[in-house]
Structure 1
Amino acid sequence: MELKKPYYAVIFTSLRTEGDLGYAKMAEEMETLAQKQPGFIGMESARDGLGITVSYWESLEAIADWKANMDHRQAQKNGIKTWYSWYKVRICKVEREYEFNT
């Protein structure tokens, strides 16, 4: 699928605390909720010690609206309190992309 450029990527890099403590359920709920958010394009995630989740958005306004979503704000608070020992968020403008696929 060709996306209209530019679009935006929110890169969330994190280190988790020990144990699940409800994290998996909340992560699934947040992905479902994000998919319903106007301006959401998609999401990719990987974890092997260091976790990286990249969500893609049509605009900076859509990102700001997602950050302000009340359920997402509660998940952020729980993350700081329970699930993460460290995280960093980067917001990037995607102007070009390419891929390899066999």
Structure 2
Amino acid sequence: MSGYSKTPEPPYYAVIFTSERTEGDKGYGKMADKMVELASKQKGFLGIESARDEESGITVSYWDTLDSIRKWKENATHKVAQEKGKSLWYRNFALRVCKVERQSFFEM
């Protein structure tokens, strides 16, 4: 299944981050790559999927527990990125945390 995270059998959690960007990169791309690399090393991280065009994007990260999500939110480097997001990179964003209870996949 290329393009999709290989998640375990549910239940697990999804953090859905939708955003509308400001103009210009302003270091965003480099920080986004750094956040994916850092998150992937966090205990409880299960995977990530992301899509973006010039203005808006959606990123879904998958975690084993709510505690893992909380620890990621509190990560010091992630907090720096959060603040830069509010002050520099995003016009607006929404964050949703969901429990995944069922999943199915299709492959050709």
Over the aligned positions, Cα root-mean-square deviation in angstroms equals 1.0
Query: Which residue of 51, 57, 66 corresponds with 1:51?
Result: 57
Partner Cα separation in structure 2 for residue 61 and residue 78 of structure 1: 24
Pairs aligned (count): 102
Q: Which residue of 1 aligns with 2:31?
A: 26
In structure 2, list runs of 5 or more residues that go unmatched.
Answer: 1-5
Cα deviation code 1:6-41 (max 9, x no counterpart)? 000000000000000000000000000000100000
* Structure 1 residue ranges, 4+ long, deviating more than 4 angstroms after superposition: none
Partner Cα separation in structure 2 for residue 4 and residue 40 of structure 1: 14
Query: Which residue of 7, 10, 31 corresponds with 1:5?
Result: 10
Query: Which residue of 65, 69, 79 corresponds with 1:73?
Result: 79
Amino acid of the residue matched to residue 14 of structure 1? Answer: S
TM superposition score normalised by structure 1: 0.96
TM superposition score normalised by structure 2: 0.91
